[in-house]
Amino acid sequence: MPDPTLPQSGAVGESAAQPVPQKRSLVTELPGPRSRELAARRDAAVAGGVSSLMPVFAARAGGGIVVDVDGNHLIDLGSGIAVTTVGHSVPAVVRGVQRQIAEFSHTCFTITPYEGYVAVCEALNRLTPGDFEKRSALFNSGAEAVENAVKIARRATGRDAVVVFDHAYHGRTNLTMAMTAKNMPYKDGFGPFAGEVFRAPMSYPLRDPLGSDGAAAAARAISDIESQVGANRVACLVIEPIQGEGGFIEPAPGFVPALSAWCTANGVVFVADEVQSGFARTGHFFAVEHEGVVPDLVVTAKGIAGGMPLSAVTGRASIMDAAHAGGIGGTYTGNPVSCAAALAAIETIEADGLVEAGRRLGDRLRSFLLDLAAKFPQLVDVRGRGAMQAIEIAVPGSGAPDAGLAARIARHCHRNGVITLTCGTYGNVIRLLPPVTIDDDLLDDALSVLADAFAAEASVTA
Ligand SMILES: Cc1ncc(COP(=O)(O)O)c(C=O)c1O
């Protein structure tokens, strides 16, 4: 007999309270009056360094819709930056969270452990690439997990140096700021940064003289690392298989595999930062799988727990176990409610075939974006995989990044009830990160708004 006090299973988009209709609707201008009131309170209470993309306050969300405090229904093409991959407040996640919080919300895994943490680690050990013995450790945020991957790699190798790439984004803590490439807004005035972090050239096919020659781009990076750092000093090489904040840069084929092989040959721990690209986002569970790469360590967060804060480092037992007891952890790491959400999200992904759904969604997005690129010369690149697609905007002819046009297109979408994010070192990339469960009609509606935005803001090819 189902427990009537708990929400029962239902279609994607049903929230704990009432189903959220999967339809865009605007009942006020954006922002509406209630959002404007809250914005005034926000400005008086919240620190200026904490920005918000849209001046619209959320009241509820379900599936692919965010409902604001004025009753507007917005289509979410951002998933809270690639987090609600399974959809907002999907019933299984809501049930898992409610059950767990009613049992206990916290004991601290390093004091009295609990099964949910172990089960999430077992799932991660099973799902990540590689058929060797693995271990996992859980954390709260992506940046915290990246920091711990570096700690573990240093401890395992006895080396200090960390290699990262141009356009990389790994977080906003001190070490991860050092690892992140872009100055504004992430680093400016926040130094000095952690040492022993070295940046290698990325493969960025659109803007790289080596174009789509991934092997040559890898040879260039390796040559820089060997000459400027020394292979024997490198503890780990940390790379996003598809870069996120840097502009959804998909390196040329062969780039990531060549770096992985170099790491193996030189005793360097190869760390895939899959915080944004992982967890059924790109048509595989992890983006490295597109080229059959098996990382030593995989860092996960965002889509792992259906919206609850959780992150992890997973990898070879021989590396993961190198850290001494008590060297890894934290008060809240692997919170039981977040673990329950993760187990529900993973079960949903597997039971509902969401990896394949992401692949199909990618095909639809890509064919729409390629059509759009044929009409607008400012749209100079369509890239990404699965439900992680982006378009790069530039001045036709010169190819100079056009952040202004990208921002105007995103703002047009916002005004019309579609949450669209930009990114990129040059701020000229519009990224699409819908929940992989997004309803077909809802996606079509959102894409028609994006097409209108181009028509309104960019000039059509003669
Ligand atoms: C690739 C990558 N690594 C790390 C992070 C940092 O994650 P968090 O914001 O949870 O600290 C992000 C966040 O966007 C990311 O995209």
Domain boundary among 351, 384, 413: 351
Strand partners, 137: 313
pLDDT of residue 272: 99
CATH at 156:
3.40.640.10
Q: 364-367 long-range CB contacts below 8 Å, 24 or more apart?
A: 364/443, 365/389, 365/432, 365/443, 365/447
Is residue 180 within 6 Å of ligand 1 at its C-beta? no
Residue 206 CA to chain centroid, in angstroms? 22
CA trace torsion 235, 241, 245, 251 (10° rounding) = 110
Is residue 276 within 6 Å of ligand 1 at its C-beta? yes
CA of 275 to the centre of ligand 1 (A): 6
Quick one: 236 and 321 in the same domain?
yes
d(CA 205, CA 208): 5
Q: Is residue 162 part of a domain?
A: yes
Quick one: 301 and 188 in the same domain?
yes
Domain boundary among 294, 320, 351: 351
Quick one: 188 and 320 in the same domain?
yes
Q: Mean pLDDT over all residues of the chain?
A: 95
CA of 37 to the centre of ligand 1 (A): 31
Quick one: 391 and 286 in the same domain?
no
Number of residues that make up the chain: 462
Q: Is residue 16 part of a domain?
A: no
CA of 32 to the centre of ligand 1 (A): 31
Domain boundary among 296, 330, 351: 351
Atom 3 (ligand 1) nearest CA: 170
Quick one: 404 and 260 in the same domain?
no
CB 147 within 8 A of CB 172: no
56 is in which domain, residue-wise? 33-89+354-457
Quick one: 83 and 100 in the same domain?
no
Q: Is residue 1 part of a domain?
A: no
d(CA 316, CA 295): 9
CATH at 420:
3.90.1150.10
CA of 143 to the centre of ligand 1 (A): 6
Quick one: 377 and 258 in the same domain?
no
Quick one: 335 and 362 in the same domain?
no
Quick one: 84 and 100 in the same domain?
no
CB 299 within 8 A of CB 149: yes
Q: How many domains does the chain have?
A: 2
pLDDT of residue 30: 96
pLDDT of residue 5: 33
Tell which atom from ligand 1 comes closest to the C-alpha of 311.
10
Quick one: 68 and 120 in the same domain?
no
CA of 289 to the centre of ligand 1 (A): 20
CA of 244 to the centre of ligand 1 (A): 8
Is residue 273 within 6 Å of ligand 1 at its C-beta? yes
CA of 170 to the centre of ligand 1 (A): 5
pLDDT of residue 459: 72
Quick one: 205 and 84 in the same domain?
no
- How far from each other are the two terminal CA atoms of the chain, in whole angstroms? 65
Is residue 369 within 6 Å of ligand 1 at its C-beta? no
Tell which atom from ligand 1 comes closest to the C-alpha of 141.
10
Tell which atom from ligand 1 comes closest to the C-alpha of 276.
16
Torsions phi, psi for 388 (to 5 deg): -130, 80
Local confidence pLDDT in tens for the 462 residues of the chain: 333 333 334 444 444 568 999 999 999 999 999 999 999 999 999 999 999 999 999 999 999 999 999 999 999 999 999 999 999 999 999 999 999 999 999 999 999 999 999 999 999 999 999 999 999 999 999 999 999 999 999 999 999 999 999 999 999 999 999 999 999 999 999 999 999 999 999 999 999 999 999 999 999 999 999 999 999 999 999 999 999 999 999 999 999 999 999 999 999 999 999 999 999 999 999 999 999 999 999 999 999 999 999 999 999 999 999 999 999 999 999 999 999 999 999 999 999 999 999 999 999 999 999 999 999 999 999 999 999 999 999 999 999 999 999 999 999 999 999 999 999 999 999 999 999 999 999 999 999 999 999 999 997 443
Residue 205 CA to chain centroid, in angstroms? 21
pLDDT of residue 17: 65
Quick one: 58 and 182 in the same domain?
no
Tell which atom from ligand 1 comes closest to the C-alpha of 244.
16
Tokens of 394: 């530039």
d(CA 262, CA 46): 46
Strand partners, 14: 19
d(CA 145, CA 100): 23
Residue 311 CA to chain centroid, in angstroms? 12
Q: Is residue 18 part of a domain?
A: no
Is residue 250 within 6 Å of ligand 1 at its C-beta? no
